Amino acid sequence: MRTILSALLLALAGGPALAAECMPIEKREPNAPEQRPAFIGQTRACEAPSEAAFDVVVLAKGLENPWAVEPLPDGRLLVSEKRGRLRIVSAKGKVGAPIRGLPKVDARSQGGLLDVALSPSFGRDRTLFWSYAEPRKGGNGTAVARGVLSEDGSALQDVRVIFRVMPTYDGTMHYGSRLAFGPDGMLFVSTGERSDRAMRKYAQDPESTLGKIVRVKPDGSAHEVWSLGHRNVQAMAFDPQGRLWVVEHGPRGGDELNLIQRGKNYGWPLVSYGQEYSGQPIPGAVTAKPGFEQPVYYWDPVIAPSGAQFYTGEAFPEWKGSLFVGSLKDRKLVRLVLEEAKVKGEEHLLAERGQRIRDVREGPDGALYIVTDEENGELWKLAPRAAK
């Protein structure tokens, strides 16, 4: 009976007639019911509840639209705020003063100070990398800079820009951008295509760095377009096997989980699930086409993904290997169960707290650290439930 009900729900929701033996977690009507997934399990995965017991510790409040959290080796945390401030928060939640030395940002709409990442050799060189919407002549664009954090943590020194996304555009949307160091020591940068229809073509232009995953030498001496055809990637992480995954904002009904391979084309705006925010079809787009990669998974309706982390710690053995993704629209933390590069289950956590989850990172202690994108944003720690 459960299998029949599952199949019926998927069929009514635009899924395949043949369903897995499970109850899909997503039961809402899709935005694009006429579209069909390319394979079973590409959308509306099984509900996969876990029994991990955790406490949500609110470490800090009063953060203004925090965008990223980056754990430091000593237990403190770096937190970026969209308006252009970077702060250190102690392990007990004391919020430090803004770190001096950051360049100016264009914080309108989706712009501002965005991601922050530690150098793989931070313990020796105290080097940080960050992405931001850079004000420029004729508009703005995503830029990546690096600098050295002073011993007392109060200022950045030797600051310089190592990568600029081009072309410049006078807009305020779709900057990307996440930063992640690969096993090869290179910095991977995700970029947006700037949203407006006139700019979408650049996601398919190999000479542009809009709508791309770009591999950058940490000294800024060279960069390479790693993959193309992306819309707006705000979640990116390497798995324990060293593979790069991204979760990108799609159109209405088309958020995607993609396993990134060098030189591959992920479709936007020629191949995409979903539709325009107006409800109209995406001009000229199809859901599948030879020569373009299919997403491993997609959400319809969307979750508005931001921030991603593969869990590798010991604090929550049941979560080991899971991919955690923040959800802005649905205000929850999404856990994906992956097997052989396929999504086998999905769990939704923290929805009862009703806050836009912007970033999630694993700390050295195995806890998960989360920031919420609110005017009065919070920093949370998910830790094993204390014995009573």
Query: Can you tell me the distance from the alpha carbon of 185 to that of 219, in angstroms, rounded to the nearest whole number?
Result: 11
Query: Can you tell me the distance from the alpha carbon of 191 to that of 178, in angstroms, rounded to the nearest whole number?
Result: 8
Give the pairing type, strands 244-248 and 233-238. antiparallel
Task: Of 220, 113, 209, 105, give the one whose Cα is nearest residue 158.
Answer: 220
Q: How crowded is residue 311: how many other Cβ atoms within 10 Å of its Cβ?
A: 21
80 close to 90: Cβ distance less than 8 angstroms: no
Task: Of 67, 196, 215, give the one whose Cα is nearest residue 139.
Answer: 196
SS3 (DSSP) at 309: strand
Residue reference for tokens 């806890």: 367
State how far Cα 331 lies from the chain centre. Answer: 14
Query: Can you tell me the distance from the alpha carbon of 304 to that of 58, in angstroms, rounded to the nearest whole number?
Result: 23
CA distances from 291 to 37, 271, 370 (A): 17, 10, 37
- The one-letter amino acid at 2: R
Query: Can you tell me the distance from the alpha carbon of 293 to that of 274, in angstroms, rounded to the nearest whole number?
Result: 16
177 close to 233: Cβ distance less than 8 angstroms: yes
Catalytic residue among 174, 223, 230, 249: 174
Residues 6+ apart with CB under 8 A from 270: 204, 229, 284, 285, 286, 289, 292
Would residue 223 show up in a list of annotated catalytic residues for this protein?
no
And the tokens for 22? 């499970």
Residue reference for tokens 């403190």: 76
Query: Can you tell me the distance from the alpha carbon of 54 to that of 56, in angstroms, rounded to the nearest whole number?
Result: 7
SS3 (DSSP) at 243: coil
Task: Of 280, 278, 178, give the one whose Cα is nearest residue 232.
Answer: 178
Give the pairing type, strands 156-164 and 179-181. unpaired
Residues belonging to the active site: 174
